[in-house]
């Protein structure tokens, strides 16, 4: 499989009214901004096309991601960044009234997303809702309380299903590994919000006020970004600057609508139109 032709790409871009953009592998790699990213974001701004960064990472707050981007020279408000913690909060809020007791298994960013404005209140075994996410400080006591609450009938949501988390030291347990531990103890599965589920996509669309058909899902991973877009019936765009290589792309059943080597063709398209 090769990069999409200019004509095909143009057809998709002409219909695009908004973007949901994955960050790792699309915007940056490690602490390095990827080529053409600042020009691409500027082109979207200049063309009046709204976009939202959407990440499965539940361990950092939007402000922390905004700070990270700032360090790479990308100036973006935290309101342009949707983490799976924030998306989970939005989804749970739609279903439960103010004052609902929630038990959180996760890091400060998830606690803040759930509790900061007082809509939900902290609860333990008597919680109506358990929310789990990636958690580098996980304790047995937290698993125990979550297990008891879920067994007592609490509804369980997970920010994302990623089993592992890439770090400089290597691969470490992610949110999905914590789901596996709680599943072993409860025989239950959570409702997962992050990609490839469409919960996060719906939260993103709601906040931009655009429809699925007119919003492009842009990402570097087939089994999360592109699959989420496919399930949501959105146009999907794979960029080859991240984890997917040609061999993986050829072997996969998941077929992006558009494939680009990097964001340069998008920059060209928008600068030609302005």
Interface residues with Mg ion (CB under 5 A)? 22, 24-25, 220
User: What gap in Å lies between CA 130 and CA 143, rounded to an integer?
Assistant: 11
25/194 with CB nearer Mg ion = 25
Output the smallest distance, CB 195 to Mg ion, in A. 9
203/220 with CB nearer Mg ion = 220
203/225 with CB nearer Mg ion = 225
Output the smallest distance, CB 61 to Mg ion, in A. 19
Of 216, 210, 263, the residue nearest 235 (C-alpha): 216
194/235 with CB nearer Mg ion = 194
Output the smallest distance, CB 31 to Mg ion, in A. 15
Bond from prior residue into 42 cis (ω within 30 degrees of 0): no
Tokens standing for residue 164: 């592992």
Q: Looking at the DSSP assignment, which residues form a beta bridge with residue 218? A: 21, 237
Output the smallest distance, CB 254 to Mg ion, in A. 14
21/178 with CB nearer Mg ion = 21
Output the smallest distance, CB 219 to Mg ion, in A. 6
Of 99, 164, 91, 166, the residue nearest 131 (C-alpha): 91
Please count the residues of the chain: 274
Residue facing Mg ion at closest CB distance: 25
User: What gap in Å lies between CA 104 and CA 131, rounded to an integer?
Assistant: 5
164 and 122 in contact (C-beta within 8 Å)?
A: no
Beta strands 164-166 and 171-173, pairing class: antiparallel
């Amino acid at each position: 499989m090769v990069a999409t032709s200019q004509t095909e790409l143009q057809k998709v871009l002409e219909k695009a009214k908004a973007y949901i953009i994955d960050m790792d592998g699309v915007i940056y790699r490690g602490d390095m901004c990827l080529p053409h990213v600042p020009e691409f974001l500027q082109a979207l701004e200049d063309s009046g096309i709204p976009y939202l960064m959407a990440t499965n990472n539940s361990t950092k707050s939007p402000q922390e991601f905004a700070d990270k981007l700032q360090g790479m020279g990308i100036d973006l408000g935290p309101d342009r960044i949707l983490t799976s913690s924030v998306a989970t909060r939005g989804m749970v809020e739609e279903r439960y009234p103010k004052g609902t007791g929630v038990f959180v298994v996760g890091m400060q960013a998830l606690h803040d997303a759930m509790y900061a404005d007082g809509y939900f209140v902290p609860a333990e075994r008597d919680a109506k809702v358990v929310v789990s996410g990636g958690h580098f400080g996980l304790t047995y006591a937290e698993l125990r309380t979550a297990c008891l609450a879920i067994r007592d009938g609490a509804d369980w949501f997970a920010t994302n299903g990623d089993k592992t988390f890439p770090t400089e030291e290597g691969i470490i347990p992610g949110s999905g590994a914590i789901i596996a531990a709680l599943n072993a103890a409860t025989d239950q599965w959570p409702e997962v919000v992050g990609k490839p589920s469409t919960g996060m996509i719906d939260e993103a669309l709601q906040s931009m006020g655009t429809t699925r058909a007119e919003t492009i899902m842009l990402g570097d991973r087939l089994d999360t970004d592109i699959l989420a877009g496919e399930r949501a019936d959105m146009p999907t765009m794979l960029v080859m600057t991240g984890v997917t290589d040609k061999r993986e792309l050829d072997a996969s059943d998941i077929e992006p609508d558009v494939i680009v080597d990097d964001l340069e063709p998008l920059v060209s398209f928008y600068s030609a139109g302005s």
